[in-house]
Homo-oligomer: A and B are copies of this chain.
Amino acid sequence: MRTNRNHKSIRVLLLAALALFTTNVMAQETSVSGQALKKPTLNDLIPGGETFRRVENLYGVQWWGDVCIKPDIDSLFSIDPKTGKETLLLTRTQVNETVEVSLQHFYNVEFPWADKPYMLIKAAKSYVVYDFRAHKAVVSLPRAGRSGNEANTDFNYNYEQAHLAYTVGNDLFVDGKAVTDEPRGIVCGQSVHRNEFGISKGTFWSPKGTLLAFYRMDESMVTEYPLVDITARVGEVNPVRYPMAGMTSHKVQVGIYNPSTGQTVYLNTGDPTDRYFTNITWSPDEQSLYLIELNRDQNHAKLCRYNATTGEPDGILLEETHPKYVEPQTPITFLPWDDTKFIYQSQRDGYNHLYLYDLKKLSSTDDAGTQLTSGPWLVKELLGFNAKKKEIYFSATKESPLQTNIYKVGLNNKKITRLDNGEGVHNATLSASGTYLIDRYSTPTVPRVINLLATQNGKSTATLFTARNPYEGFEMPSIETGTIKAADGTTDLYYRLVKPADFDPNKKYPTIVYVYGGPHAQMITNGWQNDARGWDLYMAGKGYIMFSLDNRGSSNRGLEFENVTFRHLGIEEGKDQVKGVEFLKSLPYVDANRIGVHGWSFGGHMTTALMLRYPETFKVGVAGGPVIDWAYYEVMYGERYMDTPQTNPDGYKACNLKELAGNLKGHLLIIHDDHDDTCVPQHTLSFMKACVDARTYPDLFIYPGHQHNVRGIDRVHLHEKITRYFEDYL
């Protein structure tokens, strides 16, 4: 059993869900005169559909040092970022003749080692590190593990010392030897804390590959939630370790393994009960390990240093507290040209910004560091450095909360310079030396462009790709965005309105609110089609107006915007959504008697909550995988925003939708997956019981075999199901 393989937080799955729809569809407001345009079907619009019209992409473009790599099916090209000149680097035949990987294309290969001619191939049956100069495998590890049914996973290779770390079952292996041998319930070398706090992996090679830091999580004391697999001959339990709010949580330790001695030292943190160890970083000299520790209440973070040889603590360098919560999500990053200085990210002025710290000062004084960025916008990602020019590269929302653009800041002059075109949503990767960027972006009307930029001046040196409109020949709705005031009367909230292609302002349209509303997410951006989802476009095609609003509590607007919901999730968010409905009702073409609402996960909570708290407003709702009672949600995410049921009983009660089951008036369909290990099925089933007790009449559907959403081809079925419900009742 390696139950933690399946641990997913709302956040992680939300990001996965966003990925499903941010790059899929395209507005098509022009109609080809004289030609009948056809309406797209769900199969055209929903990821997983047989005819899904994905926005074209150039998959796998990446840096190998300062060389841009452009994969294709049969060939792999290098591109000189200065000139844009392409050179054939490798053919698929060359690889397949040398190693047994049956490579089908180059789109998934990786070049993580800037100064070695190594390519990482994650093939169906093995992981291979391939030397594309010498044409041979440097490392080859079959995916099938020891016992045949336990896979080798968490592949992590360090070329400097040629050490290979991976996991089998619950244990960590290095160079074929077992580093740990733990009983069921203890997991080593994998991601911990349910992927919260920015954690996404469980092994961390020291910079020179001499030592391996790794997570060890004892979850033997955590309650198992019984998911039932009905595809077995006789239904059988697939238990998942699921610590619920206020209950006993797992205990995490950090080990450091030395391959040359075969010895492991565990950090001497003291009793790990109710403590989170996050954001592990090695010191450049490998002498120290840094991590950010957080208390269970999540209102006190400490940047701690440990001696990597002895495991003993070596000082607390920084501390952050907040009356509500702090949420460290990024490790510190040392300057490549100065081992004594590092970049630290913090929301302490209300927005996530970059701070420069000097280890020497931190050791002696209470240093506040140097704030490198500031203002009512936030840094989204630290992209890297240019050591020669002492510049730092990052993405941020500086132009608009709906945008993400690419910037550099000079370490000496603190001058911020935008490097991209200033529009839309950009996603960039920096070359090893920091001289070039791969800049991928979209705008509401541009599905996808991939450029190479020189960081010196932001000038494009090559356009690698421009996606075509995936909906040429289709009749598509119109999309607009705007702002209204939140329920606090002052805060601007962004909305998106999708109108049918044949919109007639004199008609009255049924209208559906698509909602998420929780932290870590933003539904409306200036990316492709303002992030309208395929289903929104489909429903607009069927004559609905589709509306979304990023309420207070959602992402990318700063700490106070987010934490206004603290200890009573769903309530302020709902008030804002009602402001959205008031706005809708002010529009003459919205039929105020036919307003529906749909959302998944936190959005499923919001959907259900809106149906119950505003039964006269919403006629029909479809909630997917909803949180019904935060007491059933997991410790890490849940307690950050809600504290525990013991310390916040009133808040848990006020936000427990079972308490409101008697309010249901309209038609509410709740959909849940029977293998949902993020919002366990207990949420929805206990709500059904509450409604039966209260003699109200929700509807229910369950997708067997799916987790915290419905993916693949079944996603089309899901949206047909949702559509029929609105068609029947709205």
Contacts and interface: CB of A to CB of B under 8 A. Distances in A.
Given A228-B681, A234-B632, 15 more contacts: A223-B234, A226-B228, A226-B235, A230-B681, A230-B685, A231-B689, A234-B247, A234-B682, A685-B702, A688-B704, A689-B703, A692-B714, A699-B699, A700-B700, A702-B702
A623 interface: no
B234 A244 contact: yes
Contacts of A231: 686, 689
Contact of A703 (B692, B695, B703, B720): B692
B244 A233 contact: yes
A627 to B, nearest CB: 15
Given A686-B704, A703-B688, A728-B728, A235 B230 contact: no
A380 interface: no
Contacts of A686: 230-231, 704
Nearest to A683: B230
A237 B632 CA distance: 16
A21 B539 CA distance: 46
Interface in A694-711: 695, 697, 699-705
A635 to B, nearest CB: 12
A721 interface: yes
A488 interface: no
A284 B110 CA distance: 86
B701 A700 contact: yes
A674 interface: yes
A236 interface: yes
A700 B699 CA distance: 7
A103 interface: no
Nearest to A717: B692
23 contacts: A225-B235, A226-B226, A226-B228, A226-B235, A230-B681, A230-B682, A231-B686, A231-B689, A233-B247, A234-B242, A235-B680, A235-B681, A237-B237, A686-B704, A688-B701, A688-B702, A692-B704, A692-B717, A695-B716, A697-B720, A699-B699, A699-B701, A700-B700
Contacts of A720: 695, 697
Contacts of A705: 689
A85 interface: no
Given A234-B225, A244-B233, A685 B674 contact: yes
Chain A: interface secondary structure?
mixed
Contacts of A692: 703-704, 714, 717
A721 B235 CA distance: 27
Contacts of A717: 692, 695, 697
A468 interface: no
Contacts of A716: 695
A681 B232 CA distance: 13
B703 A230 contact: no
A700 B223 CA distance: 29
A146 interface: no
Given A226-B237, A234-B225, A692-B703, A697 B721 contact: yes
Contacts of A415: none
A689 B712 CA distance: 14
- The contact size tier of chain A is 35 or more
A247 B233 CA distance: 10
A700 B669 CA distance: 10
Nearest to A239: B237
Contacts of A702: 685, 688, 700, 702
A169 B587 CA distance: 67
B704 A235 contact: no
A45 to B, nearest CB: 16
A125 interface: no
A667 to B, nearest CB: 9
Contacts of A699: 699, 701
Interface of A: 223, 225-226, 228, 230-231, 233-237, 242, 244, 247, 632, 674, 680-682, 685-686, 688-689, 692, 695, 697, 699-705, 714, 716-717, 720-721, 724, 728
Contacts of A223: 234
Give the residue among A235, A716, A728 with the most B Cβ atoms within 10 A. A235
A695 to B, nearest CB: 6
B685 A704 contact: yes
A381 B231 CA distance: 43
- Going nearest first, the 3 A-B pairs with the smallest beta carbon separation are A689-B704, A235-B682, A230-B685
Nearest to A244: B234
Contacts of A674: 685
A237 B101 CA distance: 43
Nearest to A674: B685
B230 A228 contact: no
A699 B695 CA distance: 19
A680 B717 CA distance: 25
Most chain B CB inside 10 Å of its own CB: which residue of A692, A700, A701, A714: A692
A458 B532 CA distance: 82
Contacts of A632: 234
B701 A230 contact: no
Nearest to A689: B704
Nearest to A222: B234
A714 B695 CA distance: 8
A697 B681 contact: no
Nearest to A729: B728
Contacts of A237: 226, 237
A231 to B, nearest CB: 7
A235 B728 CA distance: 33
Contacts of A233: 244, 247
Contacts of A704: 685-686, 688-689, 692
Contact of A236 (B226, B244, B700): B226
A558 to B, nearest CB: 36
A443 to B, nearest CB: 36
Interface centre among A247, A681, A685 (most CB of B within 10 A): A685
Contacts of A226: 226, 228, 235-237
A119 to B, nearest CB: 38
Contacts of A714: 692
Nearest to A237: B226
Contacts of A688: 701-704
A237 B236 CA distance: 10
A721 B237 CA distance: 30
A700 B702 CA distance: 8
Q: Residue among A234, A237, A701 with the most chain B CB within 10 A?
A: A234
A450 to B, nearest CB: 36
Contacts of A689: 230-231, 703-705
Nearest to A645: B233
